Amino acid sequence: MKGNTGAVDLGHSVRNPLRSREPECHQCDLHSCNLGNGLSPEQLNSLNEIIHIRGPFQPGSAIYKMEDHFKSLFVVHSGSVKIQNVMSDGTKVVEGFYFSGDIFGMEAIGNKQYHYDAIALEPTWICHIPFEQLESLCCFNAQLQHRLLELLGQRIRQAHTIIGRGRYMKTDERLLLFLESLCKRKVMKDVVSRHESIYLPMTKGDIASYLALCPESLSRALRKLQDKGVIRNHKNRIEILDVDVAFNYICN
């Protein structure tokens, strides 16, 4: 097991008020992604010791790039991240969004390199979890191993939900499925009964790409749903006017 502290470094201008350990940060990670669930205090400590926080990553800057050597998993401490693929013709394909507490980078496990670019969508702080060290910890810690496997299973199911189930849906159904998944992932917490407002750190273009639509089609779908009174479309926010109606709509 290597003792290096320097996970992935992309040469960003990282001003580092938090480069040294910050207990609050660690608690947050462990809580929000539940990686540390059911661990004893000592076990928790050893987990905390391998975690490092980096930031702020400015919007548009890369946490990692496709070609980078796979070393670490990541947890969004604050802010948000998209992962995307640059195709041979230069078009960018967004494959996922991650928000505070989400773990990402798992697609790269078992590979030399990351398979996507990970790009910050807003000023973002990221926790690095060196994978080799995590693996070593898991060998002596059944709970941690179990939790990691669980997260990987979730990740597989997630891939099959949005991009799997979504394939058979029409544009507006797919859009609502996406909004529903955002709501479930507590992108925002102030749920006022059957009405939600979702803040969207990504561009509409990113969303369109993620849903395998052209931006125009997404725009039209938003308009259509707004005219129907299901949602209200704002610049960086979408209101779900009636959660029940919106998310049952999917089954029609």
- State the residues that interact with DNA by CB under 7 A: 170-172, 203-205, 212-223, 233, 235
Q: How far is the CB of 99 from DNA (least distance, A)?
A: 17
Which is nearer to its own copies, 134 or 231 (by Cβ)? Answer: 134
Which is nearer to its own copies, 115 or 195 (by Cβ)? Answer: 115
Q: Which value, in Å, is the radius of gyration of the alpha carbons in the chain?
A: 19
Interaction partner, residue 11 (its own copies, DNA, none; CB < 5-8 Å by kind): none
Q: What share of the chain is helix, strand, coil (3-state, %, to 5)?
A: 40, 25, 35
Which is nearer to DNA, 143 or 233 (by Cβ)? Answer: 233
Distance CA 53, CA 74 (A): 9
- Evaluate the omega torsion of the peptide bond into residue 56 and state whether it is cis, within 30 degrees of 0: yes
Q: How far is the CB of 130 from its own copies (least distance, A)?
A: 14
Give the Cα-Cα-Cα angle 81, 232, 174 (nearest 5 degrees). 60
Interaction partner, residue 123 (DNA, its own copies, none; CB < 5-8 Å by kind): none
Chain residues in the site for its own copies (CB under 8 A): 85, 87-88, 93, 95, 106-111, 115, 135-136, 138-142, 145-146, 148-157, 159-160, 163-165, 167-168, 212, 251
Question: What are the counts of helices (DSSP H) followed by strands (DSSP E) for the chain?
Answer: 8, 11
Which is nearer to its own copies, 14 or 109 (by Cβ)? Answer: 109
Which is nearer to DNA, 129 or 176 (by Cβ)? Answer: 176
Q: How far is the CB of 68 from DNA (least distance, A)?
A: 23
Tell me how far the alpha carbon of residue 191 is from its chain's centroid: 21
Q: How far is the CB of 169 from DNA (least distance, A)?
A: 8
Query: DSSP letters along 90-140, please?
Result: S-EEEEEEEETT-EE-GGGTTSSB-SSEEEESSSEEEEEEEHHHHHHHHHT
Interaction partner, residue 217 (DNA, its own copies, none; CB < 5-8 Å by kind): DNA
Tell me how far the alpha carbon of residue 45 is from its chain's centroid: 25
